Amino acid sequence: MSNLNHILLPIFFDEAEASFELLEQFFAAEPAAQRHLEEAIRAVHTVKGAAALVKLDLVSALASRLEGAFDALSLETLEPPENLFPSLREAFELLRKCCTMARDSQPLSGDVPSQIDRIFAPFAHWIDLCLAPVGHSTDDGPELARPEYQSCCFRLGRREYYLPIEDMVEIADPSRLAAIPLAPPYVRGLIVHRGEAVAVIDLSLLEAEAIPDRLTDADWLVVAARGGQRLAFMAQGVPGLESEFRGELVDMGQFLHRYRVGVA
Domain ranges in the chain? 3-130, 151-259
* Listed range (6-10, 112-116, 193-197, 238-242) with the worst mean pLDDT: 238-242
- 24 touches 47 (CB < 8 A): no
* Listed range (24-28, 136-140, 164-168, 228-232) with the worst mean pLDDT: 136-140
- The SS3 call for residue 115 is helix
Res 167: pLDDT: 92
Res 233: pLDDT: 92
The average pLDDT across 151-163 equals: 86
Nearest to 177 by CA among 155, 206, 199, 203: 199
Summarize pLDDT for 98-140 with one digit per residue, the tens.
999 999 988 876 688 889 989 999 888 898 888 875 433 334 3
pLDDT at residue 200 is higher than 50:
yes
Measured N-to-C along each axis, helices 3-28 and 84-103 cross at an angle, to the nearest 10 degrees, of: 150
Phi, psi values for residue 168, rounded to 5°: -80, 140
Structurally, at CATH architecture level, domain 151-259 sits in: Beta Barrel (2.40)
Higher-confidence residue: 33 or 27? 27
Res 242: pLDDT: 73
pLDDT at residue 243 is higher than 70:
no
Summarize pLDDT for 64-105 with one digit per residue, the tens.
899 999 999 988 878 888 889 999 999 999 999 999 999 998
The average pLDDT across 234-246 equals: 76
Res 87: pLDDT: 93
pLDDT at residue 198 is higher than 70:
yes
pLDDT at residue 183 is higher than 80:
yes
CB within 8 A of 11, min separation 6: which ones? none
The yes-or-no answer to whether 3-130 and 151-259 have a common fold is: no
Superfamily of domain 3-130: HPT domain (1.20.120.160)
- 167 touches 254 (CB < 8 A): no
